[in-house]
Structures are given as C-alpha cells and as structure tokens.
Amino acid sequence: MKRIRLALIVCGLPALLLAANWVLVTPSHDRGWALDHSVLARAEQKGEVWRVSGVRDFSHQANGAVIQSQWVERRVAPRDLARVWFVVEPFSGHEAVAHTMLSFEFTDGSALVASVEARREAHETYRALRGALLPSYEYAVIWATEADMYRDTVFAGDGALYLYPLSLSPEAAKGVLTAMLELTAEVAETPRWYNTFFANCANVLALTMNRVSPGAVGYDKAWFLPGYAAEFLHGEGYLGKGEGFEAVRARAGAADRVKALPLDVRGTDFSRAIRETTE
C-alpha cells in the first residue's frame, strides 16, 4: 500500500504542478509581440454594425517576405454576410496537424478571415508540446484580409490551403459571425491562455458555433487534431452534401490559385478571384 501511495505521489505531483501553472500564471496583452501578432484586433458594436480595428493587411513578396505591414479598420454588418468558409492550412506533413480558420464573405465580394492563434512574442516560435503543458502563449483572434492570410500561408509557410464553403442557414451564418465578433471583444478585454489541446484553433471555433446553436458541432477527435476537422464537418453535413469528401477536398484546394494571382491583386478582387475554383 505504501508503494502505491508513493507511486501516486511521484506521478501526481508533476501533474499537479503543471495544472497549478495554468491557474497561478496570469495571461497578459502587454508583451513584446512578434510583428504579425503585435496589434490585437478589437470589435465594438454600434447598432447593427460592428467596428473591427486591428485588421491585419500585410503585403508579401512571392518568397514570403513582408513588403508592407499595416492594420486597417473595417465596418462589419452581419446582415451583409453572404457565406461562411471553413479554411484549413495543413502543416508539418502529418494529416492530423493543421490550422483552421473562418472566412466571412460579404455580398459586395469582400471577405475577412478570423483566426484563433497562439500569440507569439518576438523571440518565440510556436511549439505545440509547450503550448499543451505550460501557459506559454496567450491566444488572440486575428482578423486579416484574405490576401494577407492566404499569401502568408502559401508563400511564407510554403503550404497547402483549402477553402470549404459551409452549408449554414443565413441566420446560422450571421450568428457565427456575431459570435466571433463577440469573442474578439471578450479576448481584447480579458486575456486568456491558448492551449494546444483544449483552447486551440479548432475547438474554439467549434465552441463558438455551439454558442449560436448548442450541439451544432458534435464532440470529436478533430477538436484536438484540427487536421481531421474538414472531414469531420463533411460527415456532419456542413461540407459538400451528397459528395464524397475527396472530391470536396480536391475542389477546395486554393494554393495554386494564390500563387497564380499577381501580387498587386488585393482586397475584393483577390477574394473574388480566389473563389473561382472553389465554388
């Protein structure tokens, strides 16, 4: 019995110390952030319109280098929403690993991307294991233009990119946009920790959708392994109804389109062009 108790203490004490870190260490917005995370997006509602500040709109060269760094302000009205897109950025070469985002397309052809990210300091690189065990990264809701986000993915990250139109009712789509704007305002007001497994790019989006309609996104391994998220949503009926997933995924590929577009194509023109092969 004494040996069992000793084993429990030896195994349990490190776990307890790790858990205590998440409670005792305070998240903060006041750090020396990496350039792409240096401005925190904020959202403020004025009647039926939201003012979103800190929308990232960087310009990139084809080698991924940033030509110009700027942040802009956008007025967002949920009534003008045309469609919500689920965006997947695979990385690391493992099918389970990916970054997921939402893109909101509006009736005028413009679009904005909302991305839940581990906010890095200037000296940091993101390490998944560190983000799972220790309170190492605050999380931020990054709002960006599609030209910024997708060129960063394809050029700087040299990665694949998939854009999936979500099958949502107009009211559900507006609800998701509003919920993301509310989340943005909450995070700007109260810092919180990013966790690789429990507060990541996939499950925060799932929980946000479930705020709109409880139970809309069921519990799945994709909450913890975002690389499986698109296939899971397909099985739930949110992507490509009536089609096999491989066909839906092939049509969603957008990296080649990003590479083919001239670098001076930006804004609404970029958003329209990028969808020509994904509709």
pLDDT of residue 7: 44
Per-residue confidence at 24, pLDDT binned at 50, 70, 90? low
Q: Angle at Cα 29 formed by Cα 28 and Cα 35, nearest 5°?
A: 130
pLDDT of residue 278: 55
Buried b (16+ CB within 10 A) or exposed e, 214-246: eebbeebebbebbbbbbbbbbeeebbbeeeeee
* Mean pLDDT across 134-138: 91
* Mean pLDDT across 162-179: 96
Spatial distance between the Cα atoms of 193 and 172, rounded to a whole number of angstroms = 28
Contact indicator for 111, 270 with CB cutoff of 8 Å: no
The number of residues making up the chain comes to 279
pLDDT of residue 12: 46
User: Which of 161, 157, 154 has its CA nearest to residue 259?
Assistant: 154
25-63 pLDDT tens trace: 899 999 999 999 999 999 999 999 999 999 999 999 988
Task: Note the pTM of the prediction, 2 decimals.
Answer: 0.91
Tokens of 253: 């590929």
191-247 pLDDT tens trace: 999 999 888 999 999 998 898 999 999 999 999 999 999 999 999 999 988 899 999
